Chains A and B, each alone.
Chain A
Amino acid sequence: MRIEGHAICLPADIDTDLIIAGRYLRTKDRNIWATHVFEDLDPSLARKLKGAIIVAGKNFGCGSSREQAALALKEAGVAGIIAPTFARIFFRNAINNGIPLAEAELPCQSGEQVTIDLSSGMVQSGSCTRNIRPLSPDMLDILAAGGLVEWWRQRR
């Protein structure tokens, strides 16, 4: 599984309130989450996420268990996320929604082409490559299926 996209650089400790604020949670309209994603961090970011790979600092997705954070990123078109560490609930939520995650510390230059190769366990940006902490076989299967719901249907 290989994903490419333009880099969006974000700092460490991005919490789920910053990804999608509590005031936008009570709806089933996923477009609302995509429109307001990262609003309290940088309102212009939502428009730049289509096809992007987020390259963030450590502890991405900390805080609340709200799955709308992962869904907002998915709906906004985020292709993958690279960070040295992820908060664990967000980590599971992202995989369950088919968002490829790579645990690696990669230097980030905004707009540069970034690659996540889950098959070989590498990420790349320009001339810089890094190994990623391997995902479990189940997690790789869920990602390959496009998310937990699709994976579940395939197994039943």
Chain B
Amino acid sequence: MTTLSERILRAPAGEYVDRRVDRAYVHDGTGVLTLETLKALNSGEIAFPNRTYILFDHIIPANNSITAELQHELRDFACSGTLHFSDIGGGICHQLMSEGEALPGEIIVGADSHTCTLGAFGAFATGIGATDMAAIWASGSTWFRVPETIGIWLSGRLCGSSEAKDLALTYVSHLGMDGATYRALEFVGDGSTHLSMDSRLTLCNLAVETGAKTGMFYADSVTRRYLETFGQIITPQEPASSHYEQELGFELDDIVPVIAVPPRVDTVRPASDLCGIPLDQVFVGTCTNGRYEDLSRFASIVKGRKVKIRTIVAPASRMVLENAIRTGILSDIVNAGCTVIPPGCGPCLGAHMGVIGKGETCLSTSNRNFINRMGVGGEIYLSSVSTAAASSLAGEIALPGGDV
């Protein structure tokens, strides 16, 4: 039986295919090089503007005059045509694409490695570079090698303070940083059907940290209800008993809060082993954990209390921010002493708004803890939102409530 990737790409694993792309997006970081290459290919003509997106999220607002100049050129181009454009403050590209754009069965490419996030909708969504993107903007299609698939079987339900992020870091540690290179991940089994869209997006987001092309869920009633709120009516995908190259299984009830220690995402330890490690900064947000469910969870823990260390919170999109304002959780976060920054990638890639200094340690809800990523000489631990909230209040790594 065919895997979801084989079904969408319409060919068996291992084959090379040329396929029309349904949606293609860049951000302010990768868009500059994409535009430069597009001009070299065909003087800047986009074949299918209605399937093309330029979404500013990486360094917003611009941090210096060089960035501003590069963004100015890309913004002028974005505004000159009919393509989709989101300026500063709109939100993270993957999040915006998850708000009623990406649909089941589509082929989606993004000039950012975490495009795999959108596999949560049952789409084949994968990251590419700027040159590939320019060729897609010019032609509307590209080549793919149909990936083999690793099946990740989930059973039971997450409980206590454990989150999808804890499961994500756990599966990354099982596969390793290259355990799924050239492959796709499929999350299947009874346990997968209980997970919210926000949780599925978090799980698919970390697929690339195992080297995978994408991580995927079958679109089901959860997907349908979520997309309905954005006015999209979809038909769920019928899961097949697929042939997987490799299979892993996780009992969700057994998942405990975990942390990836610097400088590798696949070096994961129980959070309980790391309690007491002093922190200088906590960062909550990113395409991994900046959604409403994440902010709501964070707010419920810090509400009425004060954080002990500098804590930066970045909503993943304007919609997430608006919802957080409307329900009052943003006030809880601000009143707890946190600094809220504009919807976007924030300090995740070490460019601005929370760069850490030499000798400093940050606990982040993001997806990468590589050497010097958030600042030269700084170290990054990766955790769930609940662990980040508890640690923010303690000023050191601490377990979320109820977990001892």
Residues of A within 8 A of B (CB): 13, 15, 17-18, 21-23, 25-28, 40, 58-59, 62-68, 70, 85-89, 92-93, 96-97, 136, 138, 147-149, 152-153
| Contact present for B29 and A66 (CB under 8 Å) | yes
With A17-B370, A26-B59: A59-B351 Cβ-Cβ less than 8 Å = no
| Contact present for A63 and B370 (CB under 8 Å) | yes
| Contact present for B372 and A67 (CB under 8 Å) | no
| Contact present for A148 and B135 (CB under 8 Å) | yes
| Contact present for B181 and A59 (CB under 8 Å) | yes
| Contact present for B131 and A13 (CB under 8 Å) | no
Task: Choose among A64, A96, A153 the residue with the greatest number of B CB atoms under 10 Å from its CB.
Answer: A64
**What's the Cα separation between A62 and B172 when bound, in Å?**
14
Choose from B143, B264, B373 the contact partner of A22 (Cβ within 8 Å): B373
CB neighbours (8 Å) of B59 from chain A are 26
Choose from B112, B177, B373 the contact partner of A65 (Cβ within 8 Å): B112
CB neighbours (8 Å) of A89 from chain B are 113, 127-129
| Contact present for B143 and A138 (CB under 8 Å) | yes
6 smallest CB-CB distances across A and B, nearest first, come from A59-B178, A93-B129, A96-B131, A67-B129, A65-B113, A17-B370
| Contact present for B40 and A149 (CB under 8 Å) | yes
**What's the Cα separation between A34 and B149 when bound, in Å?**
37
Number of residues of chain B lying within 8 A (CB) of chain A: 42
| Contact present for B178 and A88 (CB under 8 Å) | no
**What's the Cα separation between A62 and B176 when bound, in Å?**
12
**What's the Cα separation between A66 and B112 when bound, in Å?**
7
| Contact present for B181 and A87 (CB under 8 Å) | yes
Residues of B within 8 A of A (CB): 16, 29-30, 32-33, 36-37, 40-41, 59, 66-67, 70, 111-113, 127-132, 135, 138, 143, 145, 177-178, 181-182, 211, 213, 264, 349-351, 368, 370-373, 376
Choose from B29, B145, B178 the contact partner of A13 (Cβ within 8 Å): B178
| Contact present for A58 and B178 (CB under 8 Å) | yes
CB neighbours (8 Å) of B36 from chain A are 28
CB neighbours (8 Å) of B145 from chain A are 136
Choose from A23, A62, A70 the contact partner of B177 (Cβ within 8 Å): A62
| Contact present for A85 and B128 (CB under 8 Å) | no
CB neighbours (8 Å) of B37 from chain A are 149
